[in-house]
Amino acid sequence: MYLSLIAAALADSSVRTLSQQEELPLLRDHLLRLDRTSRRDRFHGFMDDSFIERYAEKCADDGTVIIAFFENGVVRGAAELHPPDQSRDSLPEIAFSVESSVRRRGVGSILFRKLITEARAKGYKSLRITTGAQNDAMRALAAKFGAKLVFRHGESTGTIDLTKYGEAELARSWTESTLSGMRTVVAFNRAYWRMLLRMAGAAPPERGAS
């Protein structure tokens, strides 16, 4: 028990694009770890394991870029950049998933920024995002990056204009976001350490605790 708390406090994290060979096993296992509500939000209602397995296979096959957030060697978050199809008005589609154990620590924002950098490097001018109308977390994340979502057929859909992101702005935002992510992780870890020390009787009880 103490060892797992210490391991959590010392969690090691990084963000990088997966190689094509990594995509199938790492993306699949991450998506399979999503709980029911997250699966519903991520896949618009499709939730069974076999659907997720087929989905990961398709991503590994069709040129989808996966940017992954690793914690202690395990993928806990992913940003997906799907290439446009052949039709004239098709746009690259994006999607995000962060496991509940690491949510609201800036992981989604860090993945979003990295995805914008990758998309610009590929020469894309805009991206499309679609999410459930009730998905407040994804709507908040998308709004942070300038997506204007409109409600259509029970879903919120919108585009992100990549031409308005300057290199300097992205570099600055990336540093700020990484720092803020790190601060969040440090704050999170500090809480763990305080709890650990309290359990060991080496720190005063929380204010207000009896």
Decide if residue 97 touches ligand COA (CB under 6 A): yes
The residue ranges of DSSP E strands in 45-135, in sequence order, are 65-71, 74-82, 93-98, 126-132
Decide if residue 141 touches ligand COA (CB under 6 A): yes
Tokens read off for 15: 């963000």
Distances (CA, A) of 139 to 24, 42, 61, 143, 179: 27, 12, 29, 6, 23
Decide if residue 105 touches ligand COA (CB under 6 A): yes
Identify which of 79, 95, 100 has the alpha carbon closest to the alpha carbon of residue 35. Answer: 100
Radius of gyration of the chain from its Cα atoms, rounded to whole angstroms? 19
Decide if residue 66 touches ligand COA (CB under 6 A): no
Residues 114-133 as x/- pattern, contact with ligand COA by CB under 6 A: -----------------x--
Q: Kindly state the smallest distance separating residue 186's Cβ from ligand COA, in Å.
A: 15
Q: Scan residues 144-173 and list those touching ligand COA (CB under 6 A).
A: 144
Decide if residue 23 touches ligand COA (CB under 6 A): no
Q: How far apart are CA 35 and CA 21, in angstroms?
A: 25
Decide if residue 27 touches ligand COA (CB under 6 A): no
Contact set with ligand COA (CB under 6 A):
38, 41-42, 95-98, 103-109, 131, 135-138, 140-141, 144
